[in-house]
Every structure is written in structure tokens, then in C-alpha cells.
Amino acid sequence: MILRVQADANALEQFGKNNADLLTGIADAGRAAGATRHLFAAGDGEVLVIDEWPDEATFRGFFDNQPDIPRVMQAAGAKGGPQISIYRKLDMPDEF
């Protein structure tokens, strides 16, 4: 799953430093719900969230019902809603 949102990466990083327990709590809840990978990235005025979930329904169930995610997006100065894309992981011999 890749989530894209126009946002301020510096504001998000600062929010993360000041609210590490909140972000860790969201990550722990994501792990408990089935996520196996999670990271943030940024570039060109946008923030990406890159996650690996067992399937789209599991991700949507978590994302749609996690009450703290909107707070994080607001702190990052998100402009508009996120664009969410779901991709199927390919089983390739050169993976690392």
C-alpha cells in the first residue's frame, strides 16, 4: 500500500519527534492488525506512507477505524485527502 498526500515533511518529522509515543502506538496497532512493514518517505511537497499488509481489506479496516491517523495528517499540514494505491507484491528471485 502506498499512501500519498501533499504535506509538509519537516512538520511531520517534528511532530514525530514530539509525539513518538503516539506514532509508536499507531504502528503497534498496525502490527497487531496485520501490517508487516511501515515507513514514511517524502519528496516534492508530498509525504508517502509505504506499508505491507496481507490484503487490502485488512489495511482498509485498520486505516478507516484508526482514530489517531487524522491527527498525524493534520500535524503534517495535509492538503486534501490521501491518495491510496494498493499493489500486489510479486515473488521475484532478486528480492532483498
- Altogether, the residues listed in the chain come to a count of 96
Domains of the chain, CATH where assigned: 2-85 (3.30.70.100)
Instruction: Dump the DSSP string for the chain.
Output: -EEEEE--HHHHHHHHHHTHHHHHHHHHHHHHHT--EEEEEEETTEEEEEEE-S-HHHHHHHHHH-TTHHHHHHHTT-EEEEEEE--PPP--TT--
59-72 burial: b if 16+ Cβ within 10 Å, else e: beebbeeeeebeeb
Q: Residue 55: its pLDDT value, please?
A: 96
Q: What residues have CB less than 8 Å from 76, skipping those under 6 apart? A: 5, 7, 8, 9, 11, 12, 15, 47
Residue 9: the pLDDT is 96
At 20 the pLDDT is: 97
pLDDT tens per residue across all 96 residues of the chain: 999 999 999 999 999 999 999 999 999 999 999 999 999 999 999 999 999 999 999 999 999 999 999 999 999 999 999 999 999 999 999 999
